[in-house]
Each structure stands twice: as C-alpha cells, then as structure tokens.
Amino acid sequence: MTETTTTTGSGGETHQRVTGDAAVLTTNHGVPVGDNQNSLKSGARGPTLLEDFVLREKIFHFDHERIPERIVHARGSGAHGVFEATADISDLSKAAVFTKGEHTEVFVRFSTVAGGAGSVDTPRDVRGFAVKFYTREGNWDLVGNNIPVFFIQDAIKFPDLVHSVKMEADRAYPQAGSAHDTFWDWASLMPETTHMLMWAMSDRTLPRSFRTMEGFGVHTFKLVNAEGRASFVKFHWKPRLGLQSTIWDEALKLQAADNDYQRRDLWEAIDTGAYPQWDLGIQVFDEEFARAQPYDVLDATKLIPEDDVPVRIIGTLTLNRNPDNFFAETEQVAFLPTNIVPGIDFSNDPLLQGRLFSYLDTQNSRLGTTNFHQIPINAPRCPFGNFQRDGKMQTQVPKGRANYEPNSLAAHGEDGGPRESAERGFATVNAATGGDEQGDKQRIRAELFADHYSQARLFYRSQTESEQAHIASSFVFELSKVGVLDQVPPRMVANLRNVDEDLARRVADGLGIALPEKAAAAREPVDMAPSDALSIHKNMKATLEGRSVGILYADDSDGAEIEALVAAVAAAKGKAVLVAPKVGGATLKDGSRRKADGQLAGSPSQIFDAVAIVLSADGCAALLKEAAAVQFVMDAFGHLKAIGASDAARPLLDKAGVEPDDGVTDLGGAFIAAAGRRFYAREPGVRTLA
C-alpha cells in the first residue's frame, strides 16, 4: 500500500504526495510528476503555457480514450435556429453577431454529461448547452452548461473528474449517474467541487425540459470594442418559458416511462411550431469590479451574483427546425471554444485555457480527420480560405500552386491566395486579465481560488425550504450509494459543515451517521447576500404555455366536459393529451366514440405537467380496478401537480390517497389556473425528506 501525506496548496486544492521509496506518479514516458493539481501558468493569474507537457499529455490521452462516441456529452439532441441581436452593444463589442438587428443562423446541441449515447434522458446530471453561431465573420461556439459554475478550477483535473463520475473501471457501472463510490471519494477530497455539488444535488440537474432550463457560458470571457477596449463578460441564456424542473421520484419514473422524454419534447415542440426561445444576456464588468470581489472572476467554480451585476438582455435565440439527419448533424457537430470571432476574447481562466487545447484534439479523434470542419454542420456560412491542404477525407479541390505565403504568384498572373488583415483579423486584446499577469512560471493557484465554500453557502441559502430539502435529500441518496469506502460520507459531510450547519446535520441524520468534525477550510468562507436568481422555484412561471395536460377518460365520460377542457388548455397555450384505457378510445355518454392520444398503461402521469380526470360513476368504478389508473392519479399527486376531477371521479382520487389542497380542483377555471404550477407545500405529506 502506497503511503501518502496530504497537504493543501495555495488554492486550497488537495495534494497527496508519496513518501520514501513509494511509487511516483509519472507521465507516459516515465517523467516524474511534481504537481498533478495545477497547470503551468505565467504567474498565478496568468495564461496557461503550451510548454506544460504534463497537462498536454494528460488531456491528450483523455481525449482519445473513447471512439467514436464523445467521452462526455455523448447523449445529445440538436436543433437549428436563428439568433437575433436586439440591443446595441457596439460600445462593448465589435462582433458582427451583436449588431442590432443582425440575424445569425445557429445550431444548438443539448446533452447529458456522464452517460453514454445509449443512456436515458432524465438522470440527475448536468446538461450541456452548446450554441454554434454561423456569423458573417466565422463560426463562434459558445459551449456551456445549464449550470453557471463547474466542479474544478484547473483543466488538469478534468480527466480525474470524468474518470471518477463515469462507470467504475472494474465493473462498467453505474451508467449516467454520480451515486457511487469513486465519484464521491474524489469529490470529498476536492473541496473546490463543493459549490458545483450544491447545484448538482439541486433540481437544476432534473430539468423538466431543455426548453425550461437556463444556459451559461460558465467562464469569464472578454468583449472587445472597435477601439480595442476590453470588458469582462459572462454569458447567460434565459428561457422564455421560465425555469421548471421535475422532482427525483418523477425523474426515476420518467426513465421507465420514456427513455427519450426530453429528446421527444424538443422535437415535438419544434415540429408543432411551438418554437423554444431563450434570451441571451450578459454580465459586463471591469477589472476594478473584479479586484473588489471576495472571489476570483477567473475561477470557474464561482459565479457573479445577478444582484451585483444584473443580466442585460442583448438578443433572442429561436429554435425553428429539427435536424434532417441525426448522425450528419447532431452527432457530427463539433463545438470548439477556440471558435471565436473579432470582438470576443478569452480570459486566463485555467479551466478555459485547457479547453482551448482539448476540444480541437478531441474533435480530430472523434471525427477522424483534421478536415472535420468541412462537414456541412461544422462548415462556416461565410467565405473562408487558407493554405491548409490535403489530409484524410479532404473534400475540397483547391486550384493552383498557392499553398504557402508569403508568395509572389499573383505578380505572375496566378492566384496567390488569401492574406492576413490587421484591420479585420482576430487579434488578442492587449489587456491583462489582472495585475499578476507577469511573473515566474509556476504550478500555483491564485489566493482567492482557495475559498471553496462561500458561494456554495450563497447558493444553498438562496433556495426555498422545499429546494433546500431536495438538496439535502439528494446528498443523502447519493452518499447512501457509497459502498465499502466508509470514510467518504463523513468526509463529505465534514465539508458540508463549511457550507451550512443545518444542511450537514440533515445529511448526517439521513445517513444515520454521527456529525463529523468540520473540515478545515483552506480559506474561511464569508457570508454573501442571498440571490433569488439562483432559485428555480422563485423563477418559475405560472403558465401552461409549452406544457401538457393529461386528460384521463373512459366509457360513459362526458364529451362536453372533455371538449371544454381541451379548449381551455389550448386557450392557455398548453397541449391537451387524451388518455384512455385503450388507445382506440372510449364510448362517451352521448354514444359517440372519442379516440385517445395514448393508452393508459403507456401514458403515465409523469409525462404530463398536470392531469384532469373526467369520469362517470360507472367509468370510475371500472378504473378503480385498474392499477395503472390508480397509479396515474397517485403519481400526479405525489409529483405535486394540479389535479382536476369531475365529482364522479372522487372515489378514484380517494383510492390514490389524494387529499384536498389548492392543487386539487374541479374541471373549471380553477384547474386551468392551478395547472401552470406545482404545489410544493404538499410535499412533506407525501414523502420524507432530509
């Protein structure tokens, strides 16, 4: 057994170092590694250096571990659309894509992170939110997630993160989930993950739909105007339909009911003309603001509260066309953080700096050729040309001899090819990210990177009581799946004591373990003002727009009541879905036959946002003997949804354990008003939460 000593670095990161003659970590070529936690930078807040062969080899090997599936974000859904710039920000950026009134074609890919391409849509997982803008100045890829922060501060740790959360190496399970030994062993030893863990254990990782989740660029970038003045920027996507999530029990049952639930939801919304929309917002700030904060804006585990820097809306994204071919477009689309246009620039965020190397290498590995940019979904929509030639799968046929420059071929009547442009070309802004740009080459983190708990505390204390209960319960569930590594749950709870004592106690109680001693913090956390923008429940819209209502009926149901419901749901911009014991439908009270949209056994209530039960006394008596009908109502109540019911349907509600509350109504206007929301006050009565 290797003996190690554990120390803490300048950023609060964990270093485990061997002693004596124990085996030393090396590169693939046997060179001993002195620091496996930090990439090599020019100063603590300077850019990552290309000469860092440890970083490059580690990520290079990681990028080539899987073929041909993506290592992460393998399961995805894509759509075409358009971005319209709606605000004049020429004072901030010269990028053509932000010219007010400009319309830019886009392709967007949503994805889960941990699972393979054949996994399900609805695990507890981060969702990717990647947008390719086909601007008139070249492609710009904004490659982000539905959470504004990340697990790690330095790209050198990315292979360790993914190895720990993926299927365990000796047994190849579990798939698409973090509730297992290796992830929590790693995370509990990496305090910098704490803020992201709060988001991951919240309902943010259980989105109701791609259409009702936010997107974030995660990193701090720069905007550059025509005069060369740079500002820091964070990018936000705000869904027009508002935020909405599922709850854990509902997500589990969705996996059984429809493995493609979110993929289907996106496709059908676009196919029926209910085009999903997001507003693009920016948080813009300067170096003076950055210096004044108790956190480092280059730290990808930190966010900038919207209360401190409000999000300014500058454009709208509309998805209006489904792919013609999944493989050719959604599967072959290649997003690159290095796809950038004049007017936008990078910061020295060490996680971003590593991504700038990694993604290009990854796409070459996945798509098998340096010419992957010629695949139609990846090709720019503006004129492009250079002197790069040949290579595997070359589809272009360049003419002439000009494959180098400078050349004088044009002076001899030949085509000399394109040339650089100082005026129109991309130029890295001549502005330091911070005052510590210069300095010795070091494997080090900036001092403020050591605060791993302040923003985790901010996030937790910004949630509603229901959301806090969900977070605590998620930690309990995930840590309960840790097997033989019995040191891991107490170690994780010890970290949580730095976030919030009540949270730590609830998790410890839920696990049935003693409250451990608080873990030593590399930098003592500070209290930050709670922010409503961090809560899903505080940002949900009470609307039926873009949502669905399942209407359960049977033989002898009142057709007029059904028609009135369908009309009322449509008037509220929702979608009514008729469910009957048989897909052929049922014979109504007036003797007519009404076909169903789905069979009861295959259309459980978890696929709907609200349900209505339209039954006669005889129809109700028949469904009392149908387990699927009882479960339909029971799950709707347990998942905190509105339930509208005819008087005759009351026995079915009673058998399903439905108790009266504001979300249980008749079939009139009260149901339509209730159907656009969830009733979280009901939850303590239907399940035990931490």
Q: Based on the residue annotation, tell me whether 320 is a catalytic residue of this protein.
A: no
The verdict on 280 and 350 lying in the same domain is yes
Provide the residue range defining the domain that includes 627: 544-686
Domain of residue 508, CATH code: 1.20.1370.20
| Greatest Cα pair distance in the chain | 93
The verdict on 680 and 592 lying in the same domain is yes
**Helix or strand run (H / E) with residue 111:** strand 103-112
Mean pLDDT of 27-32: 75
Q: Based on the residue annotation, tell me whether 145 is a catalytic residue of this protein.
A: yes
Whether 318 is in a domain gets the answer yes
Whether 631 is in a domain gets the answer yes
Q: Helix/strand/coil (H, E, C) string of 618-659? A: HHHHHHCCCHHHHHHHHHHHHCCCCEEECHHHHHHHHHCCCC
pLDDT band per the 50, 70, 90 thresholds, residue 436: low
Q: How far is CA 505 from CA 111, 195, 495, 521, 530, in A?
A: 34, 18, 12, 18, 21
Q: What pLDDT does residue 571 have? A: 97
Cα–Cα distance for residue pair 384/370, rounded to 1 Å: 16
The verdict on 501 and 640 lying in the same domain is no
Phi, psi (degrees; rounded to nearest 5) at 229: -80, 130
pLDDT band per the 50, 70, 90 thresholds, residue 30: confident
323 compared with 411, residue with greater pLDDT = 323
The verdict on 510 and 368 lying in the same domain is no
Q: Last residue of a domain, which of 537, 563, 591? A: 537
Q: What pLDDT does residue 1 have? A: 57
Q: What pLDDT does residue 443 have? A: 87
Query: What sign does the dihedral 562-564-565-567 (CA atoms) show?
Result: positive
The verdict on 486 and 594 lying in the same domain is no
74-103 confidence digits (pLDDT tens): 999 999 999 999 999 999 999 999 999 999
Whether 91 is in a domain gets the answer yes
**Helix or strand run (H / E) with residue 162:** helix 158-165
Cα–Cα distance for residue pair 358/49, rounded to 1 Å: 14
Q: What is the pTM of this model?
A: 0.90
| 682 pLDDT more than 80 | yes
Cα–Cα distance for residue pair 550/21, rounded to 1 Å: 67
Domain of residue 48, CATH code: 4.10.91.20
Report the share of the chain in percent with pLDDT over 70. 98
pLDDT band per the 50, 70, 90 thresholds, residue 26: confident
504-527 confidence digits (pLDDT tens): 999 999 999 999 999 999 999 999
Q: Which residue has the tokens 């998790």?
A: 507
pLDDT band per the 50, 70, 90 thresholds, residue 626: very high
Query: What sign does the dihedral 591-595-600-606 (CA atoms) show?
Result: negative
| 2 pLDDT more than 80 | no
Cα–Cα distance for residue pair 609/677, rounded to 1 Å: 8
Residue 549: beta bridge partners?
Answer: 576, 610
Whether 311 is in a domain gets the answer yes
Q: What pLDDT does residue 66 have? A: 64
Whether 257 is in a domain gets the answer yes
| 25 pLDDT more than 60 | yes
Whether 441 is in a domain gets the answer no
35-82 confidence digits (pLDDT tens): 988 998 888 889 998 878 888 888 877 887 765 788 899 999 999 999
The verdict on 96 and 230 lying in the same domain is yes
**Nearest partner of 663 among 683, 639, 640, judged by Cα:** 640
Q: What pLDDT does residue 478 have? A: 98
**Nearest partner of 363 among 71, 15, 569, judged by Cα:** 71
Mean pLDDT of 220-226: 96
The verdict on 97 and 46 lying in the same domain is no
184-211 confidence digits (pLDDT tens): 999 999 999 999 999 999 999 999 999 9
Q: What pLDDT does residue 275 have? A: 98
Cα–Cα distance for residue pair 280/429, rounded to 1 Å: 23
The verdict on 145 and 288 lying in the same domain is yes
CB neighbour class for 324 (10 Å; exposed up to 12, middle 13-18, buried from 19): exposed
Q: Helix/strand/coil (H, E, C) string of 214-283? A: CEECCCCEEEECCCCCEEEEEEEEEECCCCCECCHHHHHHHHHHCCCHHHHHHHHHHHCCCCCEEEEEEE
Beta carbons within 8 Å of 262's beta carbon, 6+ residues apart: 77, 110, 121, 122, 207, 209, 210
Q: Helix/strand/coil (H, E, C) string of 316-377? A: EEEEEECCCCHHHHHHCCCCCCCCCCCCEEECCCHHHHHHHHHHHHHHHHHHCCCCHHHCCC
The verdict on 354 and 493 lying in the same domain is no
Q: What pLDDT does residue 429 have? A: 80
Q: Is there a cis peptide before residue 174, judged by omega within 30 degrees of 0?
A: yes
**Tokens matching residue 670:** 């009260």
**Nearest partner of 184 among 164, 206, 160, 201, judged by Cα:** 164
Q: Last residue of a domain, which of 537, 567, 600? A: 537
Domain of residue 139, CATH code: 2.40.180.10
The verdict on 58 and 96 lying in the same domain is no
Q: What pLDDT does residue 18 have? A: 83
Q: What pLDDT does residue 460 have? A: 98
Beta carbons within 8 Å of 327's beta carbon, 6+ residues apart: none
Number of domains in the chain: 4
pLDDT band per the 50, 70, 90 thresholds, residue 286: very high
393 compared with 266, residue with greater pLDDT = 266
> Catalytic: which of 73, 195, 452, 639?
73
**Nearest partner of 463 among 396, 413, 536, 527, judged by Cα:** 536
Q: What pLDDT does residue 677 have? A: 96
Domain of residue 556, CATH code: 3.40.50.880
Contact 510, 472 (CB under 8 A): yes
Contact 98, 343 (CB under 8 A): yes
Alpha helices in 64-128 (DSSP H): none
Q: Which amino acid is at 386?
A: N
pLDDT band per the 50, 70, 90 thresholds, residue 431: low
Whether 416 is in a domain gets the answer no
The verdict on 140 and 289 lying in the same domain is yes
**Helix or strand run (H / E) with residue 461:** helix 454-461
Q: Last residue of a domain, which of 374, 391, 415? A: 374
Q: What pLDDT does residue 394 have? A: 87
The verdict on 238 and 297 lying in the same domain is yes
Whether 587 is in a domain gets the answer yes
> Catalytic: which of 145, 339, 371, 495?
145
Residue 96 zone, left/alpha/beta (φ > 0; ψ -120 to 50; rest): alpha
pLDDT band per the 50, 70, 90 thresholds, residue 434: low
Contact 104, 135 (CB under 8 A): yes
Cα–Cα distance for residue pair 45/201, rounded to 1 Å: 30
pLDDT band per the 50, 70, 90 thresholds, residue 371: confident
Mean pLDDT of 150-179: 95
pLDDT band per the 50, 70, 90 thresholds, residue 422: confident
Cα–Cα distance for residue pair 322/79, rounded to 1 Å: 5
In the three-class reduction of DSSP (H, G, I as helix; E, B as strand; rest coil), residue 288 is classed as helix
Phi, psi (degrees; rounded to nearest 5) at 152: -130, 160
Mean per-residue pLDDT over the chain, rounded: 93
287-325 confidence digits (pLDDT tens): 999 999 999 999 999 999 999 999 999 999 999 999 999
In the three-class reduction of DSSP (H, G, I as helix; E, B as strand; rest coil), residue 483 is classed as coil
